[in-house]
Amino acid sequence: MSDNSHRYCLIMAGGAGKRFWPVSRRERPKQFVPVRELGGKTLLRHTYDRFSKVVPPENVLVITTSRYTPFVRDILPELSADNLIVEPYIRDTAPCLTYAMYKLLLRDPQATVVVTPSDHLLHDLRSFVYTLHHAMNYASTHDELIVLGTEPTRPDTNFGYIQKARGSASQKPPFKVKTFTEKPDAQLAKVFVDSGEFLWNAGVFIWNVKTIQEEIEACMPLLASQFEGWRKVFGTSREKKFVEKVYGGCERQSIAYGILERSRRVSVYPAHYRWDDIGEWQTYYDMMSDRDPRGNVHRCALAIPRDSQGNLLVTTGTDKIIAVQGLDNFMVVDTEDVLLICPKDAETYKKFVSFVNDSLPEKYK
């Protein structure tokens, strides 16, 4: 039987949530915003509660940036100070996980950790707990980096794609990875999905801390060298200044580009539970089943869509009506201070919001 005291979860909660604007803002990103589909809970709270079923609650850690620590403390008042890791700036997942894994190495060299984003919605808790239990048991005794993979439902360019190496029919998971491609273009993503050989990278990683340390140092030697001396300063009064200096010299780089595409020790564990990565409005629309006969989804007091189809109509107010005429496949998102009207496909939205943000005063970003 496994010893759960060496199981940990790290929740990454430092993202700015730019693809969910205008509800998600730089000052309060989506992981800290109450979600109607969760009964008013935030995505961070939902994630913490879910993973507390997998690891001891006292072993759930959160990493975020200094500007968001008040939100974390407010949403998770039971989180101890030792379990809150604070980054000085956003530098993507490679520096983030290097910092967190080095801290965990000092705390527990026998740790097996599951790393997760804070913006996933889960729909099958029993299957989730079963999958994580078996994957963490495996990772605790094998020197492999495990990525959870799910069956793709569309050629989405916002996910990484994992190709399993072919093995015997009786082989049990996890499976060795043949190729790992981070966020391909639309044409390549379609090839991957049509082939039936690829899984989506679910963004959840499982490994023991000694293995990830070895792979950081083998695959990202520059980053590892920038953290040189960490053992002497982590846990002391010098840690904050040390990390600020390291982050000041770090390039933005994802763990996918930095390690998963380079390492020979990556395996994939198929996850059969249903999940939704609430990364953008198109994904939010796709996960909704309560559509009207013409495919419109609304989150407002009353929607009146005439001669309109495939729209997402959202307001953050409780008593506001949205009425549209002749609108197809658009999103209308109305907040207290911003009204967004835009085609809801991900690429158009991304380009439009990037254009809009160049002209926005800081308080609206």
Structural domain tally of the chain? 2
> Do 271 and 289 share a domain, yes or no?
no
Q: Among the three residues 279, 296, 329, which one is the final residue of a domain in this structure?
A: 279
Predicted local confidence at residue 1, as pLDDT = 40
> Do 249 and 326 share a domain, yes or no?
no
For residues 15-42, one letter each, b for 16 or more C-beta atoms within 10 angstroms of the residue's C-beta and e for the rest, the string is bbbbbbbbbbbeeebbbbbebeeeeebb
Cα–Cα dist 291/288, whole Å: 7
Predicted local confidence at residue 140, as pLDDT = 95
Q: How confident is the model at residue 121 (pLDDT cuts 50, 70, 90)?
A: confident
> Do 309 and 324 share a domain, yes or no?
yes
For the stretch 23-62, pLDDT in tens is: 999 889 999 998 887 888 999 999 999 999 999 999 999 9
> Do 274 and 287 share a domain, yes or no?
no
CATH assignment at residue 38: 3.90.550.10
> Do 332 and 347 share a domain, yes or no?
yes
Find the mean pLDDT for residues 343-355: 89
> Do 303 and 251 share a domain, yes or no?
no
Q: pTM (2 decimals)?
A: 0.91
Q: Among the three residues 257, 279, 301, which one is the final residue of a domain in this structure?
A: 279
Q: How confident is the model at residue 8 (pLDDT cuts 50, 70, 90)?
A: very high
For the stretch 66-107, pLDDT in tens is: 999 999 999 999 999 999 999 998 999 999 999 999 999 999
- What's the Cα-to-Cα distance from 157 to each of 183, 342, 352, rounded to whole Å? 5, 19, 17
For the stretch 188-245, pLDDT in tens is: 999 999 998 899 888 899 999 999 999 999 999 999 999 999 999 999 999 999 999 9
Q: Is the pLDDT of residue 167 over 70?
A: no
Find the mean pLDDT for residues 289-295: 92
Contact 8, 67 (CB under 8 A): no
> Do 261 and 305 share a domain, yes or no?
no
> Do 251 and 290 share a domain, yes or no?
no
Predicted local confidence at residue 168, as pLDDT = 44
For the stretch 231-250, pLDDT in tens is: 999 999 999 999 999 999 99
Length, in residues, of the chain:
365
Selection from 328, 325, 333, 336 nearest residue 353 by Cα: 333
Predicted local confidence at residue 145, as pLDDT = 96
> Do 267 and 324 share a domain, yes or no?
no
> Do 300 and 156 share a domain, yes or no?
no
Which domain does 197 fall in, by range? 4-279
Contact 159, 201 (CB under 8 A): yes
Least confident among 223-227, 298-302, 356-360: 356-360
> Do 152 and 275 share a domain, yes or no?
yes
Contact 200, 149 (CB under 8 A): yes
Q: Among the three residues 239, 261, 279, which one is the final residue of a domain in this structure?
A: 279
> Do 300 and 219 share a domain, yes or no?
no
Find the mean pLDDT for residues 172-193: 88
The average confidence (pLDDT) of the chain is 91
